[in-house]
Structure 1
């Protein structure tokens, strides 16, 4: 019994809160998050929010549509927000908050690049450095 309690303290399970159109779920495996996001992207326009369980910030909002994504990082509730800077130079429609929105062409990323950022965010909840960012709008 004592050994089990020590093991629980030593092993920190990284629980993430995922919010999307089906509700909120908690996931501990980043690969499960990636699978969910790729499935939702394949179905068209979707919005997924990722944060550490029991906290609102930092959060990563992932907008997907097919093979494209747009990321928004929210560091806190004081307006510390960044939007992905992509090199695709293509305008893509997304559906944040249920309203169709055309992202600026320089904010769109290939879905695989977005996945790399999501993996990095899920490790430490910091602004991923695998892409460039611009001030959020």
Structure 2
């Protein structure tokens, strides 16, 4: 039996660390940080965004989690995220994966998921 993506990402703890590192990368990325910096003054809202992100990736990667947040189109509606912004987001996620020593095959699986979500996020 093969190991689930959830397990390869380090389970709930590993995914939480990846999400924390990704958000930090977003905050420091001048190409997209304008979308994230307002959360610095709204820590409860940021915690909720992180929780939903952890739950989304945990459930989607085979973890024992039920995602109760909004769907991707509803979540990103009105944000008008560009293709370039989405690519910067992916770069930030991959920096977090590297920081957390995620192997190449697992990163390919994550990229596949991120790429499959792009039409639900870009230009909504």
Normalised TM-score (structure 2): 0.33
Q: Which protein has the bigger helix share?
A: 2
Higher relative contact order (CA 8 A, sep 6+): 2
Higher gyration radius (CA) = 1
